[in-house]
Structure 1
Amino acid sequence: QYIDFAVKYANKVAFIDTDFVTTQAFCKKYEGREHPFVQALIDEYRFDLVILLENNTPWIADGLRSLGSSVDRKAFQNLLVEMLKENNIEFVHVKEADYDGRFLRCVELVKEMMGEQG
């Protein structure tokens, strides 16, 4: 319902930080299985632009995140790519390693999606 609200009241663009594919990937990682309800949400909600940020920025142990080792981070990233492909979700893989570069690339992608120049 939060996504529906965000889309309804957005000023042209709604940004969704963690999509249902990511939620399903966490289910698979931590519970060892996918959930049918989450899959139903994946099937129902399709977004105009999906951006996958490469997992290549420094790890910040803020107490809210897990999967801090480089091996775990890479494995989870691979799982996300696999699940996006399995669900026929097109995505743009942003690989810039610095925050400013990532931000600017994402701004560029949103502008392209909206038909804006430069």
Structure 2
Amino acid sequence: MRNDVKLVCLYGPESVGKTTLAKRLAAHYKTIFVPEVARDLITSNDLTPDDYVRIGHAQTEAVVAAIPQANRVLICDTDVITTQLYAEIYLGKAPEILDELQQRLIYDLYFLLDIDVPWIADGLRDLGHRREEIFLKFKEGLTERQIPYILISGNWEERWTTVTTQIDQLLVDVSN
């Protein structure tokens, strides 16, 4: 299924720049990115367990469908772990199928984006008052699953330099 395409996940809580970075990286590497599909599926954070399952399936399917179209690297704006974490935050428990969906895709690089950038509200972002707590939950989500990650912090240019250096190294390693 994967061929030689490397999967890169931009991961972290709301309003840390994942979407902006995903678009910029896709243009830089002349590839495509997979957006956060929940944005197209929901209009509020008042969701049922079935809604989270639908989002998990849709996110997984979007990544799988994008792999053949990618040029060496596929940039993913989020992952199913994120769906699990938000289900836990809003419902108190994540539907079990999300665990299975999360394990279907193995990302080559995880970037955990820090909360050291301004929080910007929109119609769905409503956890700014719990930003540090949510960030720690995201960090624990990777640690508990023993998924290695690179913490991305600093100003926008520092973030860009760190991320592109790591992706460049990943692509060089593939070539050798």
Same fold (TM over 0.5): yes
C-alpha deviation, 1:62, in angstroms? 2.2
The number of residues matched between the two structures is: 113
Q: Distance in 2 between matches of 1:49 and 1:37?
A: 23
- The aligned counterpart of 2:126 is 66
Q: Distance in 2 between matches of 1:8 and 1:87?
A: 27
Question: Counterpart of 2:133 in structure 1: which amino acid?
Answer: A
Q: Distance in 1 between matches of 2:148 and 2:74?
A: 18
TM-superposition CA deviations, 1:15-61 (whole Å, max 9, x none): 11111111111011011002211111112211000100101100111
Alignment of 1:99 onto 2:148: no
- The aligned counterpart of 2:87 is 27
Alignment of 1:75 onto 2:133: yes
* Unmatched segments (≥5 aa) in structure 2: 1-60
C-alpha deviation, 1:3, in angstroms? 0.4
Question: Counterpart of 1:36 in structure 2: which amino acid?
Answer: E
* Unmatched segments (≥5 aa) in structure 1: none
Question: Counterpart of 1:10 in structure 2: which amino acid?
Answer: A
Question: Counterpart of 1:22 in structure 2: which amino acid?
Answer: T
Q: Which has the higher contact order (CA 8 A, sep 6+)?
A: 2
Q: TM-score, normalised by structure 1?
A: 0.89
Q: Distance in 2 between matches of 1:21 and 1:55?
A: 18
Question: Counterpart of 2:144 in structure 1: which amino acid?
Answer: E
Q: What is the identity percentage for the equivalent residue pairs of Structure 1 and Structure 2?
A: 29
- The aligned counterpart of 2:166 is 109
Question: Counterpart of 1:46 in structure 2: which amino acid?
Answer: I
Judging by fraction of residues, say which structure has more strand. Answer: 2
Q: Superposition pairs for residues 43-54 of structure 1, below 5 Å?
A: 43-54=103-114
Q: Distance in 2 between matches of 1:115 and 1:60?
A: 35
RMSD of aligned Cα (Å): 1.3
Question: Counterpart of 1:84 in structure 2: which amino acid?
Answer: L
Instruction: State the secondary structure of the residue aligned to 1:73.
Output: helix
Give the ranges of 4+ consecutive aligned residues of structure 1 lying more than 6 Å apart after TM superposition.
none
C-alpha deviation, 1:74, in angstroms? 0.7
Instruction: State the secondary structure of the residue aligned to 2:73.
Output: coil
Q: TM-score, normalised by structure 2?
A: 0.61
Quick one: which of 92, 99, 102 aligns to 1:39? 99
Quick one: which of 82, 89, 97 aligns to 2:147? 89
